[in-house]
Structure 1
Amino acid sequence: MCKDTIVIREIKPEDNAQIEAIIRACFHEFKIPLEGTAYSDNETPRMFESYQNINDVYYVIEDNGVILGGAGIKPLKDFEADVCEIQKMYFSPKIRNKGYGRLMFETCLQAAKKMGYKQCYLESASQLKAAIHVYESYGFKHLKEALGNTGHYSCSVWMIKDL
């Protein structure tokens, strides 16, 4: 893995299996519940197909054809039209703590602004302490309850930020 060969780009159909494996591995690694989370979402095995609308996007981090992580933006389901959700942000241990998570996060926030969203929402698991710290450092504020209808009833951290 070389810093010069790592790129952030939009997902392609051939990335589905690799990003699904990364997403699912994180749940086992951090002992996050499998039900009521992204692990059991119908879109997890078909990420490319799930992010093909005009108001959403999914990015992957790639190094010479190997997918090392990803994150996306979608409208927050069953909520106000100008609120998006950062979704399915998971990374391989190979690139954690090297600044790529922050770079991906910034890429998603910029995309959300360009798409005209006014606020960005996210849900997380309390086990993902490093990620929650990053969210807080970007000005995300904790909420007392979930917004919208994500179906992620096992997530216990809800945060929002004005864009």
Structure 2
Amino acid sequence: MIIREIEEKDNKPVEQLIRTCLIEFGANKPGTAWADPDLGNFYHVYRPEGSKYWVAENEGRIAAGCGIGPVPGFPHICELQKMYAYQEARGTGIAAELLRVALDFAKEHYEQCYLETFHNMTAANKFYLKHGFVPMDKPLSATEHFACDAWYIKML
């Protein structure tokens, strides 16, 4: 499996990855990435400085992805965004490698990394705790992902 920055040709496969995972966890509803108008346009969304999206590709197929982007109103905090993996990629170590790549990039631009997720994504919550993210009682700020019910932050 290789990790690389997103290319324009990856927009639709990444959207399919995210939608598949959201359906799996019952998060295909408003207030989640499901309703994100830029879901199929990540190549362009993650172009500005301080933003980047990576994909893990296995034999020409996108298996996982994640991004780093700014948190409006918090110039020293980034957000780990849209980190998803197909079932067959989970438990392979690719998520840890994607996270390492993302956090290495984040350290160049930010002091802390924030993320939002769902409690019912049990493995993901354990993964974030294992990698040094600290649970928060409430979201950092109001976002379009108002349905999320678990929030974490990590010093970089």
TM-score above 0.5: yes
Contact map agreement 1:9 1:59 (CA 8 A) in 2 = yes
The alignment of Structure 1 onto Structure 2 pairs a total of residues equal to 156
Q: Which residue of 2 aligns with 1:85?
A: 79
Q: TM-score, normalised by structure 2?
A: 0.96
Q: 1:152 aligns with which of 128, 145, 148?
A: 145
CA contact (8 A) 1:76 1:149 kept: no
Deviation at 1:29, TM superposition (A): 0.8
**Residue 71 (1) aligns with residue 104 (2):** no
| Structure 2: segments with no counterpart, 5+ residues | none
Partner of 1:39: 34
* Identical positions, percent: 36
| Cα deviation, residue 104, structure 1 | 0.7
**Structure 1 residue 107: Cα displacement:** 1.0
Aligned residue in 2 for 1:109: 103
SS at 2:41's partner residue? Answer: helix
Give 1:100's aligned amino acid: I
Distance 1:109 1:71 in 2: 11
Shift of 1:33: 4.5
After superposition, the C-alpha distances for 1:94-147 in whole angstroms (9 at most, x for unaligned) are 2111111111111111110022x0000000011111111111111111111111
Cα drift, residue 148 of structure 1: 2.7
For 1:57, the equivalent position in structure 2 comes to 52
| Aligned partner of residue 44 in structure 1, secondary structure | coil
Specify the code of the residue in structure 2 equivalent to 1:92: Y
Q: Does 1:7 align with 2:41?
A: no
Q: TM-score, normalised by structure 1?
A: 0.92
